[in-house]
Amino acid sequence: MASENCENLLFDQACLQVWAYNSTNVSLWMQTEECYKCDLLKKVDLSNNGVTNIRLNTIYNLWLDLTNDSSHNNCRTLYTFEEHGVYQWNLTNNFNCSQIEEITTPQDYFMPFVYALLLIIPSFAVWFYINYLQRTNVVPSVFRFASKTDLDIENTASSRHISLIDGSDVELKSTDFGTGSNEPVIIHPQLPKPVKNSSYRIASLDAFRGISIILMIFINLGGGEYWFFQHSPWNGFTLADFVMPWFCWVMGVSIAISLRSQLRSSTKRKYVFGRVVRRSIVLLVMGLVLNSVNYNNLHTFRPMGVLQRLAFIYFIAATLETIFMKSQPYFTNTRLDVIRDIIESAPQWLIVIVLVAIHTIITFYLPVPGCPKGYLGPGGLYNKSSNVNCTGGAAGYIDRLVFGEHHMYPGSSKSVYQSIPFDPEGILSTLTNVLLVYMGVHAGRIILCYQYTNERIKRWIAWTIVLGLTGGILCNFSKEDGLIPFNKNLFSLSYTFITGSSAFLLFIMLFLIIEHWRLWSGSPFCEIGQNSIILYLGHNIFYNTLPWRWQPVNETSHTEYLLMDCWATIFWCAIALVMYKKCIFIVV
């Protein structure tokens, strides 16, 4: 490879100038530290008595090695390069290497976040100012006229009944909260005061959903092209790896509350099940149609995806609740009342545990041709290229067998490990995803079974600790070690437990701040969370269209990418807020 031009470096790029004096047949070998136990790959042959410019990726620390025909590993080093930095490495007689020196100061990697805050803070200020004007009646509301159509749009100003992307109706009667107790009534602070037989919303749940969908949009749009807003290549985690689990967990809470409400209103179970089937099918079809936007070739069409995964896990969890959930909370008038939430859900948990056991048995004991049993690695270069075509072990093998490589997601591990395709929304990982949803279902059941905040908080804290410790033990509190590594692609058990624990923890904080202490109404996240389906579909369909996105004028840094992704996310939030003000809610 010839010397590269190091002018106009793009984002996440640096330049290394290697000076070789009286050294022949020298090559530079490289590998990222992220690539676990990977062999170094040849990058370039160096020119003798001259300088070779090399563009480097700065996302991960790099192993560098200068070698020739008679010398090996004399110049191996691990170095952290920074964006737009220019570095120099000298190789002299007798194959002596100098330290890598910085000759041009790198660009401030986090400065774009300052500009992003200058966009985000005024946006929040405008929202709160509009709310203030409406509350004080200083000016007429520009959102006064509510509208409603016949296409699955419901006006919650009167019914307080909203269907969400997860296909669940969140509706609570006053009796669900033990009226007459000292427990604060759970009601959105901006809604009218409760009246007899009214239905109320859990504002903290809406806020949690709103936070999740905002993060999901921002990350899907690119997250400013920062690596920590992208999914991990294989083991380990970034912020992006928590968003989907949080959304699934919230879906579980909504399922418990929704189905209990329907059963208490004497709706026959067969009709409840019919709604579950209908909503599952709608989510599935929407996911397939959405995939056709990017994969409209039948030879490469990807049948799996996020909405398809939500359809499957919703169907399983909601079906279990439809069959086994009691229309009234379980009471024994004995000491067992302290675990009545567990007693009431024992059949459901038994089935979920069986599903997880099936997942575990298949993962560790299914024979995969050419691969060791229980393989959990990304294949490719992983572990000195010992299992090149074994990406994902049993999970990857099942998906390739059913769908074929051409109908699967290319895989987030491809850029680092050069792996074959692997689908993170594959068949086998659906089983552990059901477990995560059911953690949310149980969190919702705790709300329904216990009247007081302290009773609920104690149980949620217990789940947070137990799940976090269990997940940590499974992955040995490390990235690559442990029986079951923390892995989003596989939706591993350790990943399920730890992300479930984080969801409980975040919900506890929101519940206390919004419902119990009343320190914050949850706005604007509550309002945004009530129209999550239109936000998810919209940002995917109009991903590369104005006014949300454009071709960056300056591709040399993260600044324009971050501002563009923040702007697009804010724009979608504004659309959701206007729909909320007009009482328009798109349901599934």
For residue 508, what are its two tokens?
């506890």
Q: Alpha-carbon distance 89 to 95, whole Å?
A: 12
- By the 8 A CB rule, do 365 and 222 touch? no
Query: Other C-beta atoms within 10 Å of 282: how many?
Result: 17
Q: Alpha-carbon distance 493 to 497, whole Å?
A: 6
Q: Alpha-carbon distance 345 to 144, whole Å?
A: 44
Cβ neighbourhood burial of 396 (10 Å; 0-12, 13-18, 19+): buried
In angstroms, how far is CA 1 from the centroid of its own chain? 39
Phi, psi angles (nearest 5°) of residue 106: -65, 160
Q: 90: which residues sit within 8 A by CB, 6+ positions away?
A: 18, 19, 21, 97, 98
Q: Which long-range contacts (CB under 8 A, 24 or more apart) does 344-347 make?
A: 344/445, 344/449, 345/441, 345/442, 345/445, 347/320
Three-class DSSP category at 108: coil
Three-class DSSP category at 54: strand
Q: Alpha-carbon distance 562 to 443, whole Å?
A: 35
Q: Alpha-carbon distance 3 to 15, whole Å?
A: 11
Phi-psi region of 587 (alpha: psi -120 to 50; beta: other; left: phi over 0): beta
Nearest to 322 by CA among 275, 355, 290, 368: 275
Catalytic member of 188, 231, 359, 558 = 231
- By the 8 A CB rule, do 26 and 68 touch? yes
Q: Could you confirm whether 188 is annotated as catalytic?
A: no
Residues acting as catalytic residues: 231
